Amino acid sequence: ETYKKADTELNEVYQQILELYSDDTPFVEALKTSQRNWISFRDSEVKMKYPDREPGWYGSIHPMCVSYYMADLTNERTEKLREWLANFEEGDACAGSVRDN
């Protein structure tokens, strides 16, 4: 449930960004690429923390531990993406694709 909640929130933020920036095709394509790469990164991070081992290696709570770790990584990504939903500070020369919403 913890991971499902985090994943749902991430997808909601992602969809909001897609809608808000729908008129910015280069950004939307870059966002989609970034998200695909992040999913690969997330999966690699989980594999690094819990490499494949023989059954029982990590104990019976292993699925729960993986879920919590994935939720943590997902929450971090969601917070990073929220930058595109917040207003940037006036005069921020490094705002890049983040715009005043």
**Percent residues over pLDDT 70 in the chain:** 98
What is the pLDDT of the chain when averaged over all its residues?
93
Tell me the mean pLDDT in the region 63-72.
96
Residue 86 is classified by DSSP as: S
Q: Is residue 101's pLDDT more than 70?
A: no
Three-state SS at 71:
helix
55 Cβ neighbours under 8 A, 6+ residues apart: none
Q: Closest Cα partner for 73 from 61, 81, 83?
A: 81
> Could you tell me which residues come within 8 angstroms of residue 27 by beta carbon, excluding any fewer than 6 positions away?
21, 97
| DSSP of 39-60 | HHHHHHHHHHHS---STTTT-T
Stretch among 36-50, 54-68, 80-94 having the lowest mean pLDDT: 80-94
